[in-house]
Chain A
Amino acid sequence: MKTRYSFGGDEHIFVECDEEMSLEAFFKSLSITTAVKEAKIRGVTEICPANASFQIKFNPDVIAPDAMLKELQAIEATAAKAPSTIRTRIIEIPVFYNDPWTHETLMRFRERHQGPTSTDIEYTARINNLDGVDGFIKAHSGAPWFVSMVGFVAGLPFLYQMVDRKRQIQSPKYLRPRTDTPRLTVGHGGCFGCIYSVRGAGGYQMFGITPMPIYDPNQKIKYLQDFMCLFRPGDIVRWKPINRDEYDATVADVDAGRFAPVMRDVTFSLDEFKADMDGYNAKLMGALK
């Protein structure tokens, strides 16, 4: 894992922790960005961890680009030794897989898809050797996912499946991006899952929809009153498959202000996870019971 630094114009430093995605690369990004935050360097205006990289925006009138670079390299040298343990949250996200709304949308954009004769779930199940829609849902919801980046648009989480690389679901992005995606669509592109926080353009496969809002600019929803975006990098997500009746009931609960997300504080250790992934995941998901 070799760190690569590059300036993005005169106001950004872009740091690639690794060219390929892994939980190790994400933890490196998270530990360095946490250390940068704690260092309170004058002139730093944005600290953005991403999947296997991160970006610092700075004001070059306050700190010269080369001085900024040196600060980051010094922090990298010490942060790399930090233990890979974080205190975080596990959040249960109900998902209505194969729902009528994403189905209507995916049919509308079928000519932009690499498998126009099947749905996004059927296509992804096939290329991942999963047993149809049911086999797909079992694989998708069977293990937790790590929020390895928040962004693209407001509050949208990128999610990384916490299983062996050979069991990770992979699926290409649409051949040409759609101009429409329903709000709260559960999507997937490359090895990453996501939840579309707002309605809009998108290129990820569409697998289902959650009734649980994750972004509320008006902050009317109770659990988004502290902050308008639910997710932070480092959160852990557990998908809970639900049917149409449960979906409708949850939507009604959200609208009536009765819905509270199921979430618990947990500690996550990368080393313990790697030693026994399935056992560790079972323990993590057990925290939600």
Chain B
Amino acid sequence: MSIRIISPGLSTTVQDLGRPGYYHIGIPLSGAMDRLAARAANLLVGNPEEAALLEVVFMGPEIEFLQDATVAVTGAELPPKVNGEEKATWTSLAVKKGDVLSFAFLKKGARAYIAISGGIDVPVVLGSRSTYTLGALGGFEGRKLASGDVLPVGAGRGAAEGRTVAGELRRSPGAPAELRMLPGLYWHRITEAAGRQFLEDTWKVAPEADRIGYRFKGGKPLEFVPREPPFGAGSDPSNIVDACYPYGSIQVPSGTEPIVLHRDAVSGGGYFMVGAVISADMDLIGQLQPHTPARFVEVTMEQALLARNDRARLIDRIRQALA
């Protein structure tokens, strides 16, 4: 049971729901950036939600199936084609041995998920099949896929064709994207006026946006509260004594361009952070294209937990719909 990569697309990697437990030595969680879309793709084809699948960025790969299977493409609106014939996203598709899956151009979003019945069966490393490319760890040989790669696929009958996730059960960022954040961490390092400005400005996703982090530009530089640099921090007002970075944390080196750390986060460093994007909105970041306008919206912990529950209920509804 396997698939062959005819062409890999821009950056296609094997991901699952991640590798917790090793952040203290610098190995990040990794896994699908848009977890809801990844879970839905697996459910559509009859896999466990945590099965390994392919994460595709902007441009689809071309894949030959070396056996019959059920596949589904979720996340970004990247229409799949089977032997050249366009098919629906968020829907289970039956493919035969020898069929070729390719893609039309991206219409919306940034990352698509391709689930294949049985799941991608690369070796489990530290509890996960996710690729962490910076550390050359996990996935397929620790790297993004290349032409000619043959990936093992697990055994699994696959669900029936034509199962679909209704539009109201999908999530995608608005325009501008609103990323809810909890101010904190080193928020006190900037002035009150700078804090207000940060939340009022409309930012734009910069070209440097990947699995490690998303950079934003176009807002006004932040003004710092003056201080005597603490020993070991460094002289720039945005420096701190190197510390651990939360997932979703928003660091602003030199006070100019915020960077939100994502699933392949660098685990620590010496830049102050103004807070963190809440867990419910991490999926949305994975669907932002460069140049997309975005705003940071302040929420309380209570609101963050309500949003987390809303997202969990949405995933429950997908489970029920596909049960």
Contact = CB atoms under 8 A, between A and B. Distances in A.
Interface of A: 6-12, 14, 16, 19-22, 45-55, 57, 60-61, 65, 149-156, 158, 165, 172-173, 189-192, 197-198, 200, 215, 217, 228-229, 231-233
Contact of A6 (B134, B142, B184, B232): B184
Contacts of A49: 24
A152 B24 contact: no
A167 B170 CA distance: 58
B48 interface: no
B20 to A, nearest CB: 5
A47 B268 CA distance: 13
A102 B266 CA distance: 23
B167 interface: no
B132 interface: yes
B234 A172 contact: yes
Contacts of B112: none
16 contacts: A9-B181, A12-B276, A14-B184, A20-B231, A21-B230, A46-B20, A46-B23, A48-B268, A57-B20, A149-B244, A151-B244, A151-B266, A165-B231, A173-B234, A198-B135, A229-B26
Given A7-B184, A11-B248, A45-B20, 16 more contacts: A6-B184, A7-B276, A9-B278, A14-B184, A21-B230, A48-B268, A50-B268, A52-B241, A53-B243, A53-B244, A65-B301, A151-B24, A151-B267, A173-B270, A215-B135, A229-B27
Contacts of A217: 125, 135-138, 142
Interface string B286-323: 00000000000000010011001000100000000000
B25 A10 contact: no
A149 B230 CA distance: 18
A150 B23 CA distance: 9
A217 B268 CA distance: 20
A152 B244 CA distance: 8
Contacts of B244: 14, 48, 50, 53-55, 149, 151
Contacts of B247: 9, 11-12, 57
B123 to A, nearest CB: 11
A228 B24 CA distance: 13
B31 to A, nearest CB: 13
A7 B301 contact: yes
B249 A153 contact: no
A51 B243 CA distance: 6
A156 B135 CA distance: 11
A124 B82 CA distance: 60
Interface residues of B, number: 51
B235 interface: yes
Contact of B243 (A14, A57, A153, A197): A14
Interface of B: 20-21, 23-27, 125, 132, 134-138, 142, 181-182, 184-185, 230-235, 239, 241-244, 246-249, 266-270, 273, 275-280, 301, 304-305, 308, 312
B241 A51 contact: yes
Contacts of A152: 26, 242, 266-269
Contacts of B231: 20-22, 165, 191
A189 B136 CA distance: 25
A42 to B, nearest CB: 15
A14 B185 contact: yes
A50 B243 contact: yes
A22 B242 CA distance: 12
B266 A153 contact: yes
Nearest to A232: B25
Contacts of A192: 232, 242
A21 B239 CA distance: 13
A201 to B, nearest CB: 9
Given A152-B269, A154-B25, A172-B234, A7 B242 contact: no
Contact of B304 (A10, A14, A52, A215): A10
A175 to B, nearest CB: 10
B138 to A, nearest CB: 8
A53 B26 contact: no
Given A11-B247, A217-B125, A50 B242 contact: yes
Contact of A57 (B23, B132, B235, B269): B23
Contacts of A60: 279, 305, 308
Contacts of B125: 217
B82 to A, nearest CB: 35
Given A20-B231, A173-B234, A191-B231, A156 B26 contact: yes
A200 to B, nearest CB: 7
A11 B230 contact: no
B279 A10 contact: yes
B172 to A, nearest CB: 21
B12 to A, nearest CB: 20
Contact of B135 (A20, A57, A154): A154
A165 B232 CA distance: 10
Contacts of B242: 50-51, 149, 152, 158, 190, 192
B272 to A, nearest CB: 11
B73 to A, nearest CB: 29
7 closest Cβ pairs, A-B complex: A21-B232, A8-B246, A9-B276, A20-B230, A151-B267, A154-B135, A151-B26
